[in-house]
A = this chain, B = another copy of it.
Amino acid sequence: MANIDVRAVNTIRTLAADVVQKSNSGHPGAPMGCAPIAHTVFHRFIRANPKNPKWLGRDRFVLSNGHACALQYILLHLCGYDVSINDLQTFRQIGSKLPGHPENFMTAGIEVSTGPLGQGICNAVGMAIAEAHMAATYNKDGFTVFDNYTFVLLGDGCLQEGVQAEAVSLAGHLKLGKLIALYDDNHITIDGETTFSFTEDVDKRFQAYGWHTLVVADGDNDLKAIEAAIIEAKNVTDKPTIIRIRTTIGYGSGKAGTAGVHGAPLGDSDIVNVKGKFGFDATQKFFVPPEVHEHYKIFGQRGQELESKWNALFEQYKAKYPELASELVRRVTNQLPANIKDLLPKYTTSDAPQATRKLSESVLNAVAPHLPELVGGSADLTHSNLTRWKTAKDFQPPSTKLGDYAGRYIRFGVREHGMAAICNGIHAYGGLIPFGATFLNFISYAVGASRLSQLSHHQILYILTHDSIGLGEDGPTHQPIETLATLRATPNGLTFRPADGNEVSGAYYAALINNKRPSFFALSRQNAPQLPNTSIENTLKGAYAIVDTPNPKLIIVGTGTETSLAFSAGEELTKAGIPTKVVSMPCMELFDEQPEQYKLSVFNDGVPALSVEALSTFGWDKYAHAHVGMTTFGLSGPYLEVYKKFGIIHEEVVKKGKQLVEFYKGKQAVSRLAKPF
């Protein structure tokens, strides 16, 4: 360990102490303990250009223990990214680019938002999948366009999370040789010693998954050993590698090696002690020795050289493979093929009823062959979710003979949460639009990750079938009630429950053109008729009249398979002397974004509105004055009987429509869309 490396490591440690102290909030322990790992990885290995953080050929680094982000911010500063000492002094303040946990859209050089434990390692698995896929798709003899490693730093917390277990098991199966996990084995969690609750043999567990495992006994001081282990890991290309590195949390602090340094500033006197121990001037804050800055220049130089070489190679590639090259450029710049809208199926009312999951399959069959950036699969429900298009090839290690890395259909296994977190990583890699599928009810298993799709602006398609009590016999354990409320209440997503073929096509189109947020499709198991006035364009408005009438006395608004109920009830009520407007509402969020005038043209002021949706009525008061829907769990039985049991049938909608009109006689039905602010 050269003196300058020791100096660099201790610079990171003292900076981390200062950063957290200044913000008076944060986690100094992990940054101080992981400084040797971070220094070694960034200084010796990571190939990236701080002046162009989005360079496609870069190595990826993920901080899965996101609470240690002071560490990552410090490294970004030292490596020459757009993070200054002044920025470090704004850590965890409003207006800072350095939030309390890493957010990919806040800070140049941050690949994914982490902090919720277990997510980052799964994102890294997704990135390694993406790399393997892009390499298999675009690399040619003499043209290694894709060839990066994915490094991920993680701690005991991440290793206890189930989402991690799902993703690392799949990573072993997929033989992702360019994934290198660095395990900060510090024996401490927030509650105290890992002996309290976490005594499994991590190495053996990862071996069971098919990972290569390495151990560094002294991660506090032995930089050579860390470096040697990473070199070995890079050379093992048929398996992912985890390097368990024994460290001391808060190394240098008087409370080193205890939970006391995990989540609170060290305090001024301990910082004086730390700086003294490492030979730093205790009176200097946020100090980076000039020689350490000098030492880190290699990072930017290396990255810029590599990018220059890569750019030259890609120019030659363009000349030799112009179509592939332009397709790749199109993909990484988030441009869709020009004809994508024309590819989407369209329907008329004379077309046969179909389940919306089946209509989704038709879209995939029509679009997937022309949209090479679309990759994904199901959490072991392929034949139920209908997500495998006819020409799909599996993404598999070639040795399995079940597919290869150029395949785009991912067999996620029964791993919903891991699937969603992996999709986040695939999208973060660039040039790919991932999708994941399961039953709508089991998005509940994955919300920890799908929430991060929303927060982190990931364009992901969640294909969620069996979307209500309409799944019938499987019963209440499988019948979603609250899931749409969850998705709709979470910011920055689009939740679709399309009524028919045109709305399914519209939902896909919206999902493809909205490249800064995920879309969730709630799709039916049972058939739905093709309705009048539905279209892609109307779907993009979120809600619109499928049956209009000049002076409605009632509005019935439906979604998905219940839109046809709204339609038939509306017909009967109109005939019975209650002119009824029928609104289809495939997407609340898109509707919310329409101008107020449009919203009030759909939900006219003075007209009571009744909603019909075979899931929880919670949230529907935003649009409608009364509801037909679920307020309890469902039941196991043939689906028409289940619908009847809960009164979500034609007769009940008609009856409740009449009751609602009656109720508002002599009362003013202020539109729910008319708002004071």
Seen from chain A, the residues whose Cβ lies within 8 Å of a Cβ on chain B are: 23, 25-26, 66, 92-96, 99-101, 103, 113-118, 156-158, 160-166, 169-170, 172-173, 189-191, 195-205, 207-210, 259, 263, 378, 380-384, 394, 396, 400, 402, 411-418, 441-442, 444-445, 447-448, 451-452, 454-455, 472-478, 481-482, 485-486, 488-492, 616, 618-619, 621-622, 625-626, 630-633, 635-638, 641-642, 645, 656, 659-660, 662-664, 667-670, 672, 675-677
- Assess A380 versus B162: contact at CB under 8 Å? Given A100-B473, A489-B618: no
Q: Which listed residue, B202, B444, B670, touches A668 by the CB 8 Å rule?
A: B670
A100:B491 contact, CB within 8 angstroms: no
Which of A23, A96, A117, A451 has the most chain B CB atoms inside 10 A of its CB? A451
Bound-state Cα–Cα, A336 to B197, Å: 31
- Enumerate 16 A-B pairs (CB-CB under 8 Å) in ascending A order: A93-B637, A99-B636, A100-B477, A161-B415, A162-B417, A162-B418, A190-B382, A190-B383, A191-B381, A195-B400, A204-B207, A442-B448, A455-B633, A481-B489, A618-B619, A656-B677
B380:A477 contact, CB within 8 angstroms: no
- Assess A414 versus B485: contact at CB under 8 Å? Given A101-B636, A476-B455: no
Which of A197, A444, A642 has the most chain B CB atoms inside 10 A of its CB? A197
A662:B642 contact, CB within 8 angstroms: no
- Assess A200 versus B210: contact at CB under 8 Å? Given A94-B637, A382-B190, A637-B92: yes
* Nearest CB of B to A647, in Å: 10
A163:B162 contact, CB within 8 angstroms: yes
Which of A101, A173, A445, A482 has the most chain B CB atoms inside 10 A of its CB? A445
Q: Which listed residue, B164, B199, B619, touches A485 by the CB 8 Å rule?
A: B619
* Nearest CB of B to A28, in Å: 14
B490:A481 contact, CB within 8 angstroms: yes
Q: Which listed residue, B158, B172, B630, B676, touches A626 by the CB 8 Å rule?
A: B676
| Interfacial chain B residues near A202, Cβ < 8 Å | 208
For the complex of A and B, list the 4 residue pairs with the smallest distance between their C-beta atoms, beginning with the closest: A162-B162, A663-B676, A165-B165, A99-B636
A115:B190 contact, CB within 8 angstroms: no
Bound-state Cα–Cα, A625 to B491, Å: 21
Bound-state Cα–Cα, A476 to B454, Å: 11
B633:A491 contact, CB within 8 angstroms: yes
B161:A162 contact, CB within 8 angstroms: yes
Bound-state Cα–Cα, A197 to B175, Å: 11
B676:A662 contact, CB within 8 angstroms: yes
| Interfacial chain B residues near A210, Cβ < 8 Å | 199-201
Chain B, residue nearest A94 (CB): B637
| Interfacial chain B residues near A95, Cβ < 8 Å | 637
Bound-state Cα–Cα, A494 to B73, Å: 41
Bound-state Cα–Cα, A275 to B636, Å: 28
Bound-state Cα–Cα, A101 to B475, Å: 7
- Assess A173 versus B160: contact at CB under 8 Å? Given A189-B380, A619-B619: no
Q: Which listed residue, B160, B195, B444, B492, touches A633 by the CB 8 Å rule?
A: B492
| Interfacial chain B residues near A414, Cβ < 8 Å | 117-118, 156-158, 160-161, 189, 198
- Assess A205 versus B196: contact at CB under 8 Å? Given A477-B114, A667-B668, A676-B656: no
| Interfacial chain B residues near A190, Cβ < 8 Å | 380-384
| Interfacial chain B residues near A621, Cβ < 8 Å | 619, 621-622, 672
| Interfacial chain B residues near A197, Cβ < 8 Å | 170, 173, 380, 411-413, 415
Bound-state Cα–Cα, A384 to B416, Å: 29
A474:B633 contact, CB within 8 angstroms: no
| Interfacial chain B residues near A196, Cβ < 8 Å | 394, 396, 402, 411, 413
| Interfacial chain B residues near A169, Cβ < 8 Å | 160, 198, 200
Chain B, residue nearest A190 (CB): B380
Bound-state Cα–Cα, A352 to B672, Å: 41
- Assess A92 versus B633: contact at CB under 8 Å? Given A189-B414, A621-B672: no
Bound-state Cα–Cα, A402 to B170, Å: 35
| Interfacial chain B residues near A189, Cβ < 8 Å | 380, 413-414
A116:B626 contact, CB within 8 angstroms: no
Bound-state Cα–Cα, A448 to B616, Å: 17
Q: Which listed residue, B100, B394, B631, B645, touches A636 by the CB 8 Å rule?
A: B100
Which of A394, A475, A621 has the most chain B CB atoms inside 10 A of its CB? A475
| Interfacial chain B residues near A476, Cβ < 8 Å | 99, 103, 455
| Interfacial chain B residues near A158, Cβ < 8 Å | 414
Bound-state Cα–Cα, A201 to B207, Å: 8
| Interfacial chain B residues near A626, Cβ < 8 Å | 675-677
Bound-state Cα–Cα, A669 to B676, Å: 12
| Interfacial chain B residues near A636, Cβ < 8 Å | 92-94, 96, 99-101
* Nearest CB of B to A215, in Å: 15
Chain B, residue nearest A189 (CB): B380
Chain B, residue nearest A417 (CB): B162
| Interfacial chain B residues near A394, Cβ < 8 Å | 196
| Interfacial chain B residues near A161, Cβ < 8 Å | 162, 166, 414-416, 445
